[in-house]
Structure 1
Amino acid sequence: MSPDLPLSPDAGRPLDGITVVAVEQAVAAPLATRHLADLGARVIKVERVGGGDFARDYDHVVHGTGAHFTWLNRGKESLAVDLKTGEGRDVVRRLATRADVVVQNLAPGAAARLGLGAADLRAQRPELVVVDLSGYGSGGPMEQRKAYDMLVQAEAGLIAITGTPETPVKTGIPTSDIAAGMYCVQAVLAALLRRWRTGVGAEVEVSMFEATVEWMGYGLYTGMYTGEQPARMGLSHSSIAPYDAYPTRDGQLLIGVQNDRGWRTLVTSVLESPELAEDPRFATNVERVRHRAECDAAVAARTSRWTNAELDARLSAAGIPAAQVKSVADVVSHPQLRARDRWRTIATEHARVDALLPPVTFADVEARMGDVPAVGEHTRALLAESGTDADDLLRRGIAEQAGA
């Protein structure tokens, strides 16, 4: 299709017709391929015989299904085969020769040892896009190291700048996994676009460590060019003030003021303290950061006059950025998500559950919110598609069909 041709009135989902084979486990790669499935791709998830992806059993809190697994694996077909056998590997290779993309996050070097590495697969299908997602990338002294999310956060410096001055902490979500997964999606889309133009496939590496170091952003550059370790600031910000949680009569609100005009509006229109606008200690952001303790104390002394709801309304009316600290239950029932109709119902092997639409919203088509598969739910059909004797492999335990 030429880039100059107009789009069809019914363009469909962006990745309709794309097939992805995912030899994946845990979080990073499954997150990437779930986003591809949401965008319309057919995703064939290769799982272990006798349990499948171990993320299935992190817990069983979603009506018997793991929370991680429910989040990461909707819209996929599950193929359970034993990759330690030649027959199991042949099934995956045959499916890969018909696919557009292969994503894998096995242990470093494992895919190549199984004959499922990028070089082997693209020798059969040069236009294939193969993405290897690992902890630290190929080569280097840490290539073979275990790469759990917390450990990567520590190596990348994220834990050192997260938490309070007294206590470093990891983030409350698997940031390194998510960062790598999102770069994996970006890599797949870019490689497919290049293939559309040139017919050439791709071999791509994504490293959890490098993805997380990239997300260190301004903290990394601040440390590099000042020679100082950025401080852990809790809810505060190293370069902006006021930027923190401030007390109210019945709780606290987060307020962030990023420029001097906002400061003047905050203290005059919201806090009814115009004298603070003229205080030389607070006249500019540089001065407010220099006198952070006094600035925060002045704001806190005034915010405590109102309730959360009252102060939130005043801040909103004045255009001052603010937020309430929501619990998970608050987020589930958040009026913004409800007003924008962001929840859908999908099926798991045990029950129907609510799932959140992905944040990318196309005006003309909705994301495909597929079901979460049981281990090997689609094995028999996929074995047949690969040209394999399904009954033989299932009888010998090389493959597994859900419910069999």
Structure 2
Amino acid sequence: MMPLEGIRVLDFTHAIAGPTATQMLAQLGAVVTKVEPPGTGDTFRHYTEHAGLPGLSIPFAAVNAGKRSLTLDLKAPEGLAIARDLAGKADILVENFRPGVMARLGLGCESLRACNPGLIYLSLSGFGQEGPLRDRGAYDHIAQATSGMAMMNATPEGPLKIGIPVVDSFTGYLGVIGVLAALRRRDLTGQGERLDVAMIDAALKIMGSAASVWSYTGEAPKGTGNRGFRLVATAEYYACRTGWIALGANHQHQIAALFTALGHPTLIEDERFATHAARVTHYADLKGWLTAQMLLHDAQALDATLAAAGVPAAAIGKIGDILSHPHTAQRGLLHSATLPGSGPGQDQPLTILGPGFGPGFPRPEKTAAVPVLGADTDAILAELGMDETAIAALRNAKVI
């Protein structure tokens, strides 16, 4: 049995943060109905510059597989009535419009919870539902910029964003944590919850240690580029004769083991490198020495040597390297989905990532399907008691 079996989620989300949240709920067993505008759907469907077919981009598929798609014009009275009917039967509603949009559509939290007191209503936005910045739009790289994350990732050339939408994704996961807590509270009280999760808050949560450092010292931590958190040269990225390697020797025994594995066991006795404070002070000297040493080795061979010596390190690879590694397969992270093809019988398999709770966590019995826009509209409306004539009338009126 899946943990959220029987839970119904109404999904008014688009792009990354909201769909990430609702897909996680689907992977935990909830039935997720994704509501999309007729004709266009979620704009993320069209990000085919990365990969995919028209209306079915792979980035969209990655965070929407396993959901049902209902097309609905929320500005039409008939569409609004259907949405409110579905919300009255839902356990969870998730939306990531700008603050105030859902209320203007007639789907605000207070209005819906008046009819369904047990509804858990999750709003995801750039800066939250309250505060002076609430009306500003945000994308992942904007949240990285505003939060200080890009500056903490800076090199001497300037600030750098992290290359993946890390804030978007973490915002979705933070929303799921809130939903699960709200479900537990509802079990005890019978009452739903209003959850307000902002990308800026999620970014700051990721940077929690930096926030406390700033509070204590009054200074923002400086950008470190590829340097590790302890600011020593033995925890950094280096070019090798072939490839690149990440070193992660932070503690005395690890650094001693690193020097020994590199054939210089007495280097730990050098007063410049003998203690953590000395290694920070003489960072440039140690980095220069390590830069020269790394160029004597092949990254993959050095990876194996350092692993055997107990030194945290890894050859720097591409995502396909770890996805195709037997370790990842054994971890149970890789799930199968079905990607609709360009015609009948042309569906193809697609790998998506599961919830990440380890190989022992239960998996859905069915393979997740990537929803074609509006593919489940008729079935969902039939569940509400509509017959074929009523559904056809809605389609003719372009409500669905």
Q: What TM-score do the two structures reach when normalised by structure 2?
A: 0.92
Match of 1:363 in 2: 360
- Say whether 1:390 aligns with 2:391: yes
Preserved CA contact (<8 Å) 1:345 1:352: no
Of the structure 1 ranges 290-299 and 373-382, higher mean CA displacement relative to structure 2 is found in 290-299
- Say whether 1:328 aligns with 2:324: no
Percent identity, aligned pairs only? 38
SS at match of 1:132: strand
Aligned counterpart for 1:254 among listed residues 229, 232, 246: 246
CA distance in 1, matches of 2:65, 2:27: 8
Match of 2:237 in 1: 245
SS at match of 2:197: strand
Match of 1:62 in 2: 52
Preserved CA contact (<8 Å) 2:300 2:315: no
Preserved CA contact (<8 Å) 1:77 1:378: yes
Preserved CA contact (<8 Å) 1:240 1:257: no
SS at match of 1:281: coil
Match of 2:372 in 1: 374
Preserved CA contact (<8 Å) 2:331 2:358: no
Q: Following superposition of structure 1 onto structure 2, how do residues 284-299 of structure 1 map, counting pairs within 5 Å? A: 284-299=275-290
Match of 1:32 in 2: 21
Of the structure 1 ranges 382-391 and 80-89, higher mean CA displacement relative to structure 2 is found in 382-391
Preserved CA contact (<8 Å) 2:331 2:359: no
SS at match of 2:272: helix
Of the structure 1 ranges 151-160 and 347-356, higher mean CA displacement relative to structure 2 is found in 347-356
Of the structure 1 ranges 69-78 and 276-285, higher mean CA displacement relative to structure 2 is found in 276-285
Q: Which runs of 5+ in 1 are unaligned?
A: 1-11, 400-404
CA distance in 2, matches of 1:62, 1:345: 17
Of the structure 1 ranges 119-128 and 167-176, higher mean CA displacement relative to structure 2 is found in 167-176
The total of aligned residue pairs comes to 387
Match of 2:344 in 1: none
CA distance in 2, matches of 1:380, 1:258: 59
CA distance in 1, matches of 2:353, 2:268: 44
Preserved CA contact (<8 Å) 2:335 2:352: yes
Aligned counterpart for 1:310 among listed residues 301, 322, 337: 301
- Say whether 1:278 aligns with 2:276: no
How far the C-alpha of 1:385 sits from its partner, in A, is 1.8
How far the C-alpha of 1:63 sits from its partner, in A, is 4.7
Match of 1:199 in 2: 190
SS at match of 1:138: coil
CA distance in 2, matches of 1:127, 1:49: 29
Aligned counterpart for 2:349 among listed residues 336, 350, 353: 353
CA distance in 1, matches of 2:133, 2:328: 42
How far the C-alpha of 1:342 sits from its partner, in A, is 4.2
CA distance in 1, matches of 2:203, 2:335: 31
Q: Following superposition of structure 1 onto structure 2, how do residues 139-150 of structure 1 map, counting pairs within 5 Å? A: 139-150=130-141
How far the C-alpha of 1:22 sits from its partner, in A, is 0.7
Q: Which runs of 5+ in 2 are unaligned?
A: 342-346
Q: Aligned AA for 2:392?
A: D
- Say whether 1:129 aligns with 2:126: no
Preserved CA contact (<8 Å) 2:243 2:298: yes
Post-superposition CA distance 1:176-235 (Å, at most 9, x none): 211210111101111011111221211111111111112122222223322333222221
Q: Aligned AA for 1:26?
A: A
| CA 19–148 in structure 1, closer or farther in 2 if over 3 Å, else same | same
How far the C-alpha of 1:98 sits from its partner, in A, is 1.1
How far the C-alpha of 1:238 sits from its partner, in A, is 4.8
Q: Following superposition of structure 1 onto structure 2, how do residues 42-53 of structure 1 map, counting pairs within 5 Å? A: 42-53=31-42
Match of 1:176 in 2: 167
Q: What TM-score do the two structures reach when normalised by structure 1?
A: 0.91
Preserved CA contact (<8 Å) 1:231 1:238: no
How far the C-alpha of 1:278 sits from its partner, in A, is 0.6
SS at match of 1:159: helix
> What root-mean-square deviation, in Å, do the aligned CA atoms of Structure 1 and Structure 2 show?
1.8
How far the C-alpha of 1:362 sits from its partner, in A, is 5.8
Q: Aligned AA for 1:122?
A: R
- Say whether 1:264 aligns with 2:249: no
Post-superposition CA distance 1:128-166 (Å, at most 9, x none): 111111111123221111112211211111111113121
Of the structure 1 ranges 25-34 and 107-116, higher mean CA displacement relative to structure 2 is found in 107-116
